């Protein structure tokens, strides 16, 4: 039987409860050898997310024992089939990603939110700065707007400028700004990093820019190939944006301001490039690495410098 005429994937009639359906979905994902890295890191969590999206959040013991109707079962099966056939991240199939405990709209115009910076935002960027004193925040390379919006929600007295070079990304961010009702405190700006910001200064500059090096771009899993290359690729060493951010941030920070910059796996390359700079690498309770924090005074001392 050809692939075109093959029957659609269906959930066996013997599998009834929500809990059993989750197990069935996870088994299909494991059999297909999918890659997980866009909101989950394993088949069971991905299956639970998919099913929860169809039956409603949050999960409970009572909900796990429910028996979904045929329409819901068919919808779940179609999503499982599409996830396997296309290797598209589940977030794109659902048009949903979770960040800092809140849902965000996403599609292929932006990468799927997955930054450990969410944990720092939840703490109001303490103890590195007094949350009560933060009035202006800049989010560079905002993408879906999740970092900017989560920051605005965590710091109700702060105004956040959310910057991106991509008009497509800013269109997605606008959807999320409206969804979370933060239009009065989150301003979307089209700009190549700091280029359109004039002399504005901020208490916090936070950025999760593209940082994937050329080698990793060439070997990345199929799921990552559905994300916009502009939001991932950062040249030979992965530092094409990190370096100008470090060199220019001091001109846009208040005297006591801080820079939070994610460079992921390019952290080693950054330390090699600037061996004398005392980078502070943050540790996260829930995992994640490659996020540095630098105070304005340190930036004044070391950037811009010759490597």
Quote the number of domains for the chain.
2
Backbone conformation region of residue 170, classed left if phi is above 0, alpha if psi is from -120 to 50, else beta = alpha
Question: Which tens digits make up the pLDDT trace of 1-21?
Answer: 344 444 488 999 899 999 999
Output the DSSP codes for 59-72.
P-HHHHT----HHH
Q: How many CA atoms lie within 13 A of 212 on its CB side?
A: 17
CA 248 to chain centre: 24
**Rounded to 5 degrees, what are φ and ψ at 24?**
-65, -45
Specify whether 243 is located in the same domain as 134: yes
- Position 76 scores a pLDDT of 95
Q: Which two tokens stand for residue 54?
A: 């169809």
Q: What is the DSSP letter of 212?
A: B
Do 52 and 141 lie in a common domain? Answer: no
**Distances in whole angstroms, Cα of residue 18 to Cα of each of 42, 58, 196:** 18, 13, 50
Domain of 114, in residue numbers: 109-302
Distances 163 to 129, 137, 148, 173, 186 between C-alpha atoms, Å: 22, 11, 9, 10, 10
- Residue 148's pLDDT band, with cuts at 50, 70 and 90, is very high
Lowest mean pLDDT among 53-57, 82-86, 105-109, 128-132: 53-57
> Are 143 and 249 found together in one domain?
yes
Total residue count of the chain as it appears in this document = 307
User: How far, in Å, CA of 66 to CA of 128, rounded?
Assistant: 46
| Residues facing residue 295 across a β-bridge | 258
Nearest CA to 250 out of 151, 90, 138, 130 is that of 138
> pLDDT tens digit string along 50-61?
999 999 888 777
Rounded to 5 degrees, what are φ and ψ at 130? Answer: -80, 115
Q: Please indicate, yes or no, whether residues 258 and 154 belong to a single structural domain of this protein.
A: yes
Query: Is 90 exceeded by the pLDDT of residue 287?
Result: no
234 and 172 fall within a common domain: yes
Q: Which of 63, 94, 125 is the last residue of a domain?
A: 94
Taking the C-alpha atoms of residue 168 and residue 114, their distance in angstroms, rounded to an integer, is: 19
Q: pTM for this structure?
A: 0.91
Whether residue 185 is contained in a domain is answered as yes
β-partners of residue 122 are: none
Q: Residues 243-254: pLDDT tens digits? A: 999 999 999 999
What is the CATH classification number for the domain harbouring 248?
3.40.50.150
203 and 78 in a single domain? The answer is: no
Model confidence at 186, pLDDT cuts 50, 70, 90, reads: very high
Average pLDDT, the chain: 92
**pLDDT exceeds 60 at position 219:** yes
**Are both 113 and 194 inside the same structural domain?**
yes
Confidence at residue 145, expressed as pLDDT on a 0 to 100 scale = 97
Same domain flag for 288 and 167: yes
Whether 126 shows a pLDDT value over 50: the answer reads yes
Count of other CB atoms within 10 angstroms of residue 27? 14
**Residue 102 forms part of a structural domain:** no
Q: Where are the alpha helices (DSSP H) in 105-221?
A: 117-122, 146-154, 167-179, 214-219
């Amino acid at each position: 039987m050809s692939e075109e005429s093959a029957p659609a994937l269906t959930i066996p009639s013997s599998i009834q409860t929500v809990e059993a359906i989750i197990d069935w979905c996870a088994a299909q994902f494991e059999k297909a050898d999918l890659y997980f890295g866009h909101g989950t890191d394993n088949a069971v969590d991905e299956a639970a997310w998919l099913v929860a999206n169809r039956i409603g959040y949050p999960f409970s013991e009572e909900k796990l024992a429910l028996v979904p109707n045929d329409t819901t079962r068919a919808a779940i099966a179609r999503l499982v089939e599409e996830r396997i056939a296309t290797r598209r991240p589940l977030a794109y199939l659902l048009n949903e990603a979770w960040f800092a405990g809140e849902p965000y709209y996403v599609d292929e115009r932006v990468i799927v939110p997955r930054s450990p910076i969410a944990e720092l935002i939840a703490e109001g960027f303490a103890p590195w700065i007094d949350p009560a004193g933060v009035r202006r925040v800049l989010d560079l390379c905002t993408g879906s707007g999740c970092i900017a919006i989560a920051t605005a929600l965590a710091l109700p007295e702060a105004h956040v400028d959310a910057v991106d070079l991509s008009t497509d990304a800013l269109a997605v961010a606008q959807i999320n700004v409206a969804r979370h009702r933060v239009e009065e405190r989150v301003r979307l700006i089209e700009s190549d990093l700091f280029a359109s910001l004039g002399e504005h200064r901020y208490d916090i500059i936070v950025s999760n820019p593209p940082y994937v090096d050329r080698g990793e771009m060439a070997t990345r899993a199929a799921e990552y190939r559905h994300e916009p290359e502009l939001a991932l690729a950062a040249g030979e060493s992965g530092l094409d944006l990190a370096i100008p951010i470090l060199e220019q941030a001091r001109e846009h920070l208040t005297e006591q301001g801080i820079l939070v910059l994610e460079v992921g796996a390019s952290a080693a390359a950054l330390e090699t490039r600037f061996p004398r700079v005392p980078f502070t690498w943050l540790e996260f309770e829930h995992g994640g690495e490659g996020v540095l924090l630098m105070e304005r005074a340190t930036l004044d001392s070391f950037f811009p410098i010759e490597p």
